[in-house]
Structure formats: structure tokens, C-alpha cells
Amino acid sequence: MYNLEDIQNILIKYGKPENVAWLNGKIEKLAEDKSSKDLFMTYSLLNVKFDATRPISFEQLDSESTRYFSAHEANNLQVSRIYLLAAVLEQDLEFFTPKVANIIQVADTGELETFLKYLLLLPNPEAYKQTAVEALRTNIATIFDAIAMGNPYPAKYFNDQQWNQMFLKAAFMERDLSQIESVDQKANEDLTRIISDYAHERWAAGRKIDPLFWRPVSKFLNEQLLNDMRTLLNSDDKIENKAGALCCYHSGNEKAMSLLNGKPELKHKIAERKITWNTIKQQ
Amino acid sequence: MMIIDPHVHMTSRTTDDYEAMAAAGVVAIIEPSFWLGQPRTQVGSFQDYFSSLVGWEPFRASQFGIKHYCTIGLNSKEANNEVLAEQVIELLPLYLHKENVVAIGEIGYDDQTPAEDRFFRMQLDMAKELDMTVQVHTPHRDKKAGTIKSMEVCLEHGLDPANVIIDHNNEETVKEVLDRGFIAAFTIYPKTKMGNDRMVDVVKKYGSSNIIVDSSADWGVSDPLAVPKTANLMLKRGISMEDVRKTCYQNALDAFSKNGKMKEAHWLQPDSINQSQLFNDNSVLRGQKPRIDEDQII
């Protein structure tokens, strides 16, 4: 997704011309001097030079970067931070990677949020996996959401254990699970067990669980999970009925299909794509 | 009535304090960086402390509907470990532009040693270069001389006195501070030093211009409700609402909002207590609502 020119074009179009010129001057100088102090100062001054009060209203969504920034309601300050980091990393990846890591280490909440959301717009984003995984441990919702919600980074770089940790914590924190990307692709057997255990724990406490939590279990329906599917299909909650039906429908499992045959109306609607994981919460 | 406490060390306080402060009308606070009761031995301890002042603590405050700002600096006591102090000074520029940093502080003198003087001056130069507000801690011993010296050094380094808050004043120092055009902050201590009653008398005598009330509540015996309590006492003792508003709200806002980070809109149009930013199960609220008004059992 990384494309420095696209990012620069966004700043040129939506930033104040004198401040974009100032930033480009600093970046040129950094290429010659390779001074970490100048990088830190330039980075620090961005929040004086670029507006963070409102998201950019993009006129055209003509590049991948534009579409990604727009979908995440980026403001000028965020774009300028990513631009500066990407630009110096492109100049000298080896020299600037530890300096960028240093900037992240001392980040305030807003900076960390920016960095995590737009990791994929930097060259060599895998270098920051440790920071991304660390963000899963936070209790600050904006930080957790920055890495977990609407972000392709976890699916691309997290291993199963890390991805499972994220999915479970998102459910635990009652975040919007529909915002997690590539759930079907990242589903794995270990996660299936975790999902069932957690659901039982919640049921035992008389609490509900987001029906979207079940989505990854489809391809891994063992006896215990088939029982869970039975529970979902017979629940008083219509959304749980749909979740159970969707899991069974996409399972390719005969026993699951015969369970679903007991709910012909649901099966029919799924076949007609009137019920999907994306529309499950709609009436 | 809305209250700002422009000097309170919330890192050392409990969630009970946040609840009580919010209930008493505190809408915004400023947490100066200071020492933690015993000296730090590693620069990393400073780094993590500063990071918590721009990260976790503002989040914690937001859960109680209080807007948290901070000041960043090397305090006077720890300036005396010169090797460590030099490393801390190098760290400061990384924090001075963070989103909730409103000034360099609290800096100044403790025992008025040469090392304290050296690092105080270095930080004043930094403030001058970055055009930042300064929050000055005045010494508890040899107070009057130390306060006057602090101001003279600020002027020597070219700072505008209107952009320097001299803290921990008392009846003996206030006139010198106001006469020189600096802003005078008063810390209300529960037992010793400046108490609520004395503060009322100061406002009666000197008026409300350039005077700020704060609590400096920390890990010692102190009162995070010192500002709202003093505000109420002032009203009871016949000081006008306008003067109370200035000394317990507006003057602090004017003094610390010069770099544009502190804005009244943060609490007048709050998204700071936006529930979507809060975790239900694992926040500091642990599923509770941040109010204790009813059903109190003790």
C-alpha cells in the first residue's frame, strides 16, 4: 500500500503551501545531515504546522492511500506525520528505522493512534510488529481500535496466536467486531476453541455475546461446537439464530447442514444472500 | 461553577479523588512533572513517567469527565544528580510538543544549589526558544530570596513575565511577584503553609488579577479539593463571583492556554467523556459509573 508520492500529493492538495514547503525543506536537509535531533524537532513541530481539528474532506478518492486515509477520517496532521516518517525511511531505511522506533516509544496517545492506523503506509511495516502487538495490551480504546479496527495490518503480519489475542480482546472489550478485517481467512482451530470456551463462560454468567464473535468457527465445527450451533439456532435472539445459521451454512459439514435443515427459512435467506455476516444485525 | 486546578499530581491520587473533583466542579487539571518522593536513578524512569503524563493519565482523567493537561520539565531536586539531569534535559524536546503539554514545569530551585541553577537556566532557554509558558516551583526554604532570584533569572533569560507562573506563593512573596508582572499561583495546603482562610485574605487584599489558586495535591498529605473548597469559602466570605471565577478558573486558563493546547471547548463541548472511547470491562471504571452521589453507605 506504501506510496510516498501519493501521500505527498495529499499534503500538497490539502495542507498550507508554506508548511508543506517547510516540511519538504526539512526532509531534504535530513537526507544530507542524517540528524536524529532534527528529525525529532521536525516531527515535534508538525502539530504546530498541520491542522488536526477536522478530517480532510477528500474531493477525489483516486489512489489507494487516499481511499485508506479517507476511510479512517485522517486529518492533515496525521498525513504529515506519516509523510515525514515514510520519507526519511525511504531515504535510509537502516539509519532511520531505530529513530522512528524512538519516536514511537515516546508517542502520546494521538501519535500512537496515527502510527498504528497507518502502519501499512510506511515502507517495511513489518519492522513495527512489536509495537502493533503491544497495542493489543492497552486499555485505551482509541489505541486498541487503531490497530484492530479497519486495519489490514494484523491479518497481514500477526501470527495466529497474536491474531487470536486481538479477536478475543476485541470481543471482551465489546468493540465492533464487524470492523475487524479478514476474519474468515484468519480463522483457525485454536481460535475456535477459545470462542466456544469464552461463550460458555459468558452464558454461565448470564451474559450475552456479540453474535459476530462466532464467525470464525464455521470451518471447525466439532461436537462441542455443533452443540453451540444448536443453542444459537434455538435462541430467542434472532441475530444469534442468524449467526448459527451462517456458521452452519458455510461449514461444509454434513451434521451442521442437517441442523440447518431444521430452520428452512433461515437457510433459504442465506442462499439468497438476504442474510450475510455484513447484514446480520439489520432487521 | 467550573473549576480548573492548574497544579495537581494525579498520578499519585486515586479514582475516588477524580470522582470527588468532578463532582465538585473541576473540569480541567494540569499535572506538572515533579519528583516521586524518592530520586530516580535512570533516565528511562523519567521517560516512562513523561510518557504516562501524555498517555495513560489523560485517559484515566477522561473517564471521569476531567480534561488532563501536563507540564514537562526536570524538577529542581533531581537536577542535583547532574549526570542523570543531562540525559533528562536531552529527553525534554521529545515531549514538549505533545498534545496535552501546556508549559515547561515545574522547574526552579529547591536548595538553590549551583546544579539547580544550571538546569533551571537551560530549561528557561528552551522555553525562550520554543516560546513556551513556564511554571516555576519556588523553594520551601529561604522562600522569599529564592522566589525573587527565580524571577530575576527568568528576566535575565529574556522571558516575558506574563508568560511565567510563579507557584507556591504566600503573603510574603505575592507583592514582589505581582509588581514584577509575573503570575502568582498559590498552593492551598491542608495543615501547613497557605490555608484556605489565608487565601481569602490574599484575594481581599490583592484582588483577582494574575492570581491563581491550586492544590498541588500529591503523594503526601494534601487535598485534591483545595481549589473548589477555597472557591466556596471565598464566596461565603463575600468575595464576588467574578473574582472567584478568575482566581479558580479563568486566570489559569488564560495563563496556560498560550500554546494553543488547552482549550475551553475541550470541556464545554466534551467528546472527552465519549463512551465509545471507554472499555466496559477493563477500564479504570471496572464497569462502574463515575459518580458516587447516591446510595452512599458511609
Closest partner residue to A110 among B50, B99, B279, by Cβ?
A: B99
B 79-108 residues with CB < 8 A to A = 91, 93-100
What is the phi/psi pair of residue B201, to 5°? -65, -35
Rounded Cα distance, B49 and B43, in Å: 10
Nearest Cβ partner for A41 among B59, B93, B278: B93
User: Would you list the domain boundaries of chain A?
Assistant: 4-123, 187-271
pLDDT at A116: 97
Q: Is the pLDDT of residue B297 over 60?
A: no
Q: Do A106 and B47 touch (CB under 8 A)?
A: yes
Window from A232-236, B231-235, B273-277 with minimum mean pLDDT: B273-277
Kindly provide the ipTM of the predicted complex, given to two decimals. 0.79
Handedness of CA A50, A55, A59, A64 (dihedral sign): positive
Residue of B nearest to A49 (CA): B97
pLDDT band per the 50, 70, 90 thresholds, residue B190: confident
Number of helices (H), then strands (E), in chain B:
12, 8
Cβ of B278 within 8 Å of Cβ of A174? The answer is: no
How many Cβ pairs closer than 8 A exist between chain A and B?
A: 62
Asked if B132 has any chain A CB less than 8 Å from its own CB, the reply is no
Residue B282 pLDDT: 44
Q: What is the mean pLDDT of residues B241-248?
A: 97
Confidence of residue B284 (pLDDT cuts 50, 70, 90): low
For B277, which residue in chain A has the nearest alpha carbon?
A141
Residue among B48, B56, B94 with most chain A CBs within 10 A, to mutate = B94
| Phi, psi (deg, nearest 5) at residue B113 | -85, 165
Average pLDDT over residues B139-145: 93
Question: Does residue B293 surpass a pLDDT of 60?
Answer: no
pLDDT at B271 over 70: no
Chain A residues touching B282 at Cβ < 8 A: 139, 172-173
Is the Cβ pair A141, B99 closer than 8 Å?
no
- Interface with chain A: mutation pick from B98, B102, B276, B285, highest number of A CBs within 10 Å: B98
Is B58 within 8 Å of A174 when comparing Cβ atoms? no
Distance (Å) from the alpha carbon of B262 to chain A's nearest alpha carbon: 13
For A39, the closest chain B residue by CA position comes to B94
How far does CA B45 lie from the centroid of its chain? 21
B272 confidence band (pLDDT: 50, 70, 90):
very low
> Which residue is closest to A142 within chain B, CA to CA?
B277
Which chain A residue has its CA at the smallest distance from B61's CA? Answer: A140
**pLDDT tops 90 at residue B274:** no
Instruction: List the pLDDT tens digit at each of the 283 positions of chain A.
Output: 899 999 999 999 999 999 999 999 999 999 999 988 889 989 988 988 999 988 999 999 999 999 999 999 999 999 999 999 999 999 999 999 999 999 999 999 999 999 999 999 999 999 999 999 999 999 899 999 999 999 999 999 999 999 999 999 999 999 999 999 999 999 999 999 999 999 999 999 999 999 999 999 999 999 999 999 999 999 999 999 999 999 999 999 999 999 999 999 999 999 999 999 999 998 7
Contact B97 A141 (CB under 8 A): no
Q: Which of residues 16-75 of B touch A (CB under 8 A)?
A: 47, 50-51, 54-56, 58-59
**B282 interfaces chain A, CB cutoff of 8 Å:** yes
Taking alpha carbons only, the member of B249, B298, B175 closest to residue B166 is: B175
Quick one: DSSP state of residue B139?
P
Beta-carbon contacts of B33 under 8 Å, excluding residues fewer than 6 positions away, are B49, B50, B53, B70, B71, B72, B73, B75, B105, B106
Amino acid B72 reads I
Q: Please give the CATH topology (third level) of the domain spanning B3-277.
A: TIM Barrel (3.20.20)
Q: Which of A108, A142, A172 sits opposite B98 (nearest CB)?
A: A108
In chain A, what residues touch B281 (CB-CB under 8 Å)? 172-174
CA distances from A241 to A38, A79, A203 (A): 58, 43, 16
> What CA–CA distances, in Å, run from B177 to A31, B114, B120, B171?
48, 23, 18, 11
C-alpha separations of A205 from A199, A200, A213, A232, A280 in Å: 10, 9, 17, 17, 25
Taking the model in full, what pTM does it have?
A: 0.86
Q: Which of A105, A106, A173 sits opposite B280 (nearest CB)?
A: A173
Can you tell me the distance from the alpha carbon of B57 to that of B59, in angstroms, rounded to the nearest whole number?
A: 5
Q: Is pLDDT at B197 greater than 90 in this prediction? A: no
Residue found by looking up cell 476453541 in the block: A193
Closest CA to A84 of A32, A123, A130, A54: A123
Give the model's pLDDT for residue B193: 52
Please compute the mean of the pLDDT values over residues B2-15 and round it to a whole number: 97
A68 vs B288, residue with greater confidence: A68
